[in-house]
Structure formats: structure tokens, C-alpha cells
């Protein structure tokens, strides 16, 4: 009898990653942090050499002020992550880079180089791929990173893009997901849910104009939502502000999967619980307006929408005044004991347990 196989959807994305990688162990002393964060952390080369002779050498204070390498890879698939009916190729190239380098920022690092690999079907011309790489170039110029390599290949269907981002950070400033402590403040940059509502706006116009010659979509008054979906910005400004304030978060993560999912990542990694407050979650006016048009809940968009590419981080309670002076950062809650779980607190004091699709 043939053994029953497990459907991938029963594990969720992150459960699948844990299942695929649970048998792997780090064998090199230069691997400071492997799978499980926004980026891997590779120690200084000389520390790796020293570690071959003395396993404790790579972890000594001698490397505290030296740059470590940060490494992360993101992949975008046509039909899953983007729709070229309404996603300009130049914007797509830009967004692909932003997704990679914001993972470096989420480690409190500085992006330095990227590689870009693409798989393209025969329906794409050379001019199309040049347009895609023009967006890559714009992002590289804006964030000061170098395109140093990649690969190209044929695809049977559609377009696939993979960006590997490399960055640096000193050992003392690297921020992981697992450092949140009891009573730490939970902080967030920017506003949430706009990218998700921008996607729904684009999908609405696509359906409304299907089969129409020379379609003219109606985006009046919703340009901000389109920008958040089609041309998001990486939060270099916040990382620079944190450095100027000599403030190192206790934990941090790139908000790409939605507030609920990414906060649960921090809770899982840091073995803690969390309380966030509904009235403190930053949501833009256009997000509220679009949600009203679609008869949707803007809070659900903020919690589960994803694609915001903001930063979620925690800091000690004693640094509250310094966080307030950063600008562009909202304090939305605090860390609690793990047995309390993670919950959203409504204005009347009710608590709703946080859950996230695909988070298992």
C-alpha cells in the first residue's frame, strides 16, 4: 500500500521550512546564525580561521567591533507574488530589490551588494528584461548597493525573480528575532495595510476592465495605496536613526507577512507573549477609505495583509523617550510572559488571540 503523503498546505510556509531544515546543523564556526531569521550571519573570516583551531575563538570579544556578513534570499513568482497585467516590469525590479535589502535592515545592518537571478519564458523580449533591470538599477542607486552577479535561465511558464542581498553589521549591533525581553516596548515604523489595499484596488480595476479596449483604470485619490504595493520603500532612515540614537533593538523583523504573523515570529523565537493595542496600530486614511469601498476591515488588512516592508522591533521600556524622538515610529504594545500568549487588545479591554494564515 502506498504511504499517504502530507499536503504542503497542512504545514504552512514556516512549518514547511522547519520540516525541511530540521536535520541540518551548522558545522562552520563562521556561521554565527543560520536559518530562522531575516538573514544569515557569517562571522569575520579571521574568526573562522581562528575557530578552526579554537572553537571558542569566533565568539570572543575580539570580533565585537568588526563587520559580520549578512546574507538573505527572496524569490518572486509570477501568478503568485505579482501579476504583470498591472505590475510594470520596472516597478517589479525595484520591489524585488527592496524586499531583499529590507531583510538586511531588519537585522540592523547595511546592505552592500545584491545578485539577481531570473527565469523568463519565451513571451518576454530582451526589451522587457531591460525594463525589469532598469528598476533594479534605480533601487541600487537609491540604497547604495552594487549588483555583483546572478543568473538567467529559461522558464516554461512566466517570470521568476530571485534576489540575494548581502550586507554588513558589527557584532554588537546585529539584531535577531529572539532577543525580546519581558516588558519591552513593541514598536512599528510607518503604517500598515496600505499595500494590501493597493493590491485589492488593482485587482478590482483588472476585473472591471477585463476585455475593454484601451482600459482607463480609476485610481483617483488612492495613489498612496498603489505606491505602497508597486513601489515600497526600504526603511534605511529608521536604521540610521537608531544608530544616531545609539539604540539597538532587542529584536526586529521585516514586516512582509502581516503584523500578526511577524509578531508571532518574534514571540516564538524569543519565547514570549505580546499585547498590542488596536487604537495604536497606524493605518492610513486611504487604507480606511479603500476598506470602506470594499466592505472590508482595515484592521484585518493591517494584521494579515502583508507586503508592507516596514520594521517591527522591540526596545527596553527604559528607552521609551528615545524611541519617541526617532520620528516615524509608533509604540503599539509590550512584551509579556509566554504563558499569556499574543493578543490584540480592543478599546473596551477585550483580548483577541493573534493568529496568522500559514503560521504554524
- pLDDT tens sequence across 81-99: 999 999 999 999 999 999 9
What share of the chain in percent tops pLDDT 90?
Answer: 74
How far, in Å, CA of 27 to CA of 317, rounded? 37
Domain range for 325: 185-209+222-353
151 shares its domain with 205 = no
> Would you say residue 49 has pLDDT above 50?
no
For 68, the grid coordinates are 559580520
What share of the chain in percent tops pLDDT 70?
Answer: 91
Structural domain count, the chain: 2
106 shares its domain with 190 = no
Q: How far is CA 250 from CA 174, 237, 269, 322, 359, in A?
A: 10, 19, 12, 14, 22
Q: Tell me what pLDDT residue 23 has.
A: 77
How far, in Å, CA of 342 to CA of 276, rounded? 8
Q: Tell me what pLDDT residue 220 has.
A: 82
Cβ within 8 Å of residue 194, ≥6 positions away: 224, 225, 228, 229, 284, 286, 287, 308
342 shares its domain with 277 = yes
161 shares its domain with 193 = no
For 304, the grid coordinates are 494579515
Amino acid at each position: 500500500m502506498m504511504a499517504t503523503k502530507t499536503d504542503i498546505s497542512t504545514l504552512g510556509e514556516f512549518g514547511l521550512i522547519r520540516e525541511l531544515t530540521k536535520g541540518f546543523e551548522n558545522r562552520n564556526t563562521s556561521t554565527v546564525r543560520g536559518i530562522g531569521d531575516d538573514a544569515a550571519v557569517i562571522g569575520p573570516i579571521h574568526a573562522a580561521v581562528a575557530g578552526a583551531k579554537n572553537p571558542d575563538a569566533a565568539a570572543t570579544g575580539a570580533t565585537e567591533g568588526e563587520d559580520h556578513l549578512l546574507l538573505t534570499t527572496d524569490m518572486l513568482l509570477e501568478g503568485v507574488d505579482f501579476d504583470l497585467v498591472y505590475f510594470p516590469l520596472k516597478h517589479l525590479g525595484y520591489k524585488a530589490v527592496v524586499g531583499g535589502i529590507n531583510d538586511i535592515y531588519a537585522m540592523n545592518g547595511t546592505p552592500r551588494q545584491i545578485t539577481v537571478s531570473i527565469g523568463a519564458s519565451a513571451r518576454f523580449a530582451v526589451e522587457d528584461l531591460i525594463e525589469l533591470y532598469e528598476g533594479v538599477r534605480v533601487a541600487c542607486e537609491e540604497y547604495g548597493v552594487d549588483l555583483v552577479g546572478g543568473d538567467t535561465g529559461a522558464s516554461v511558464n512566466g517570470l521568476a525573480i530571485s534576489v540575494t542581498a548581502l550586507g554588513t553589521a558589527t557584532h554588537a549591533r546585529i539584531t535577531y528575532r529572539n532577543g525580546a525581553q519581558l516588558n519591552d516596548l513593541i514598536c512599528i515604523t510607518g503604517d500598515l495595510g496600505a499595500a494590501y489595499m493597493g493590491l485589492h484596488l488593482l485587482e478590482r480595476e483588472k476585473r472591471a476592465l477585463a476585455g475593454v479596449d484601451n482600459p482607463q483604470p480609476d485610481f483617483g485619490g488612492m495613489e498612496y495605496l498603489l505606491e505602497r504595493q508597486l513601489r515600497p520603500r526600504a526603511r534605511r532612515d529608521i536604521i540610521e536613526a537608531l544608530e544616531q540614537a545609539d539604540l539597538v533593538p532587542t529584536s526586529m523583523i521585516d514586516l512582509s507577512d502581516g503584523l500578526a504573523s511577524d509578531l508571532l515570529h518574534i514571540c516564538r523565537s524569543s519565547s514570549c507573549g505580546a499585547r498590542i493595542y488596536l487604537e495604536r496600530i497606524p493605518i492610513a486614511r486611504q487604507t480606511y477609505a479603500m476598506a470602506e469601498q470594499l466592505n472590508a476591515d482595515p484592521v484585518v488588512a493591517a494584521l494579515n495583509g502583508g507586503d508592507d516592508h516596514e520594521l517591527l522591533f522591540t526596545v527596553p521600556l527604559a528607552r521609551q523617550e528615545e524611541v519617541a524622538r526617532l520620528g516615524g515610529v509608533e509604540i503599539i504594545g509590550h512584551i509579556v510572559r509566554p504563558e499569556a500568549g499574543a493578543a490584540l487588545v480592543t478599546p473596551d479591554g477585550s483580548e483577541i488571540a493573534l493568529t496568522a494564515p500559514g503560521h504554524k
